[in-house]
């Protein structure tokens, strides 16, 4: 595989192959890193993502740089990253070293300026985060905490929390996630088997309730009470 090594010139096909290999390799790396590294960029996650991006990017634009070294280096870094995650789980002192503790920003309606300085957050950023949580008044906040992943957790005083059935001791039905039985005009056979229904049942109900057939359905779900909800192509 000449495109894998450094050389004076690369043909168009070799450039394409190099890009494809790098893309597939990055997908494998992302899979190895896990969902945590993708959704929550903590310190260790941010460092590994930044370094891997730089290592892989250069061989894709410079034909004098081989892809082999980048792949090898990235593999070593991923191994070190996974080792770091293991150490974080095993040794609390290492976890504290890599992941900073939460910082209080607001307590009992009062802004903690020292906390803002420690987290390096301005008043504007704090107010923006509160607005995103639908909080218009800092005085309503019982506790706002800066988390290690850069997010701010907000807890309102009890008198400002939304009223729920539990406040009135009301009995509610247990949560039920409807089954998806049709998606983009195609039946989901596995879901049908789980609810003990067949194709004839679906076809019959679509004709009776919606005067349509399966190919016209964008999405269809059914709950445990056999209520069928259908969204047609429009």
User: Average pLDDT per run of 10 along the chain, which is 234 residues long?
Assistant: 52 65 64 51 63 68 64 75 78 74 91 90 90 92 87 90 82 86 90 88 90 92 89 88
96 contacts: CB under 8 Å, gap ≥ 6? none
Say whether 103 sits in a helix, a strand or coil: strand
Distance CA 32, CA 142 (A): 39
In eight-state DSSP terms, residue 211 is: S
Distance CA 161, CA 127 (A): 19
Angle between the 67-90 and 12-33 helix axes, to the nearest 10 degrees? 10
pLDDT of residue 64: 65
pLDDT of residue 106: 94
Strand order from edge to edge, sheet including 152-156: 110-111, 103-107, 141-146, 152-156
Q: 149 with 107: CB under 8 angstroms?
A: no
CA quadruple 56, 58, 64, 65: dihedral sign: negative
The distance in angstroms from the start CA to the end CA of the chain is 49
pLDDT of residue 36: 45
The beta-strand segments (E) located in 102-204 are: 103-107, 110-111, 141-146, 152-156, 179-183, 186-187
Alpha carbon 170 to its chain's center: 34
In eight-state DSSP terms, residue 160 is: G
In eight-state DSSP terms, residue 159 is: G
Distance CA 143, CA 112 (A): 10
Q: 148 with 42: CB under 8 angstroms?
A: yes
pLDDT of residue 29: 63
CA quadruple 71, 72, 75, 76: dihedral sign: negative
This prediction's pTM: 0.55
Q: 42 with 96: CB under 8 angstroms?
A: no
pLDDT of residue 217: 93
């Amino acid at each position: 595989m000449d495109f894998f090594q450094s050389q004076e010139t690369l043909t168009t096909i070799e450039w394409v192959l190099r890009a494809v290999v790098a893309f597939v390799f990055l997908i494998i790396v992302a899979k190895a890193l896990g969902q945590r590294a993708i959704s929550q960029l903590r310190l260790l996650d941010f460092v590994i993502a930044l370094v891997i991006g730089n290592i892989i990017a250069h061989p894709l634009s410079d034909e004098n740089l081989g892809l082999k070294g980048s792949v090898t280096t990235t593999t070593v870094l991923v191994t070190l990253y996974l080792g770091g995650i293991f150490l974080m789980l095993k040794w609390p002192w290492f976890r504290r070293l890599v992941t900073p503790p939460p910082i209080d920003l607001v307590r009992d309606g009062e802004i903690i300026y020292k906390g803002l300085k420690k987290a390096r957050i301005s008043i504007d950023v704090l107010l923006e985060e509160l607005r995103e949580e639908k909080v218009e008044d800092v005085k309503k906040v019982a506790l706002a905490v800066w988390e290690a992943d850069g997010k701010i957790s907000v807890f309102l005083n009890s008198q400002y929390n939304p009223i729920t059935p539990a406040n009135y001791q009301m009995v509610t039905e247990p949560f039920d996630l409807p089954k998806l039985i049709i998606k983009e005009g195609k039946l989901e056979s596995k879901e049908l088997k789980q609810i003990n229904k067949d194709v004839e049942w679906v076809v019959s109900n679509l004709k009776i309730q919606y005067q349509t057939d399966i190919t016209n359905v964008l999405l269809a779900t059914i709950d445990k009470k056999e209520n069928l909800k259908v969204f047609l192509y429009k």
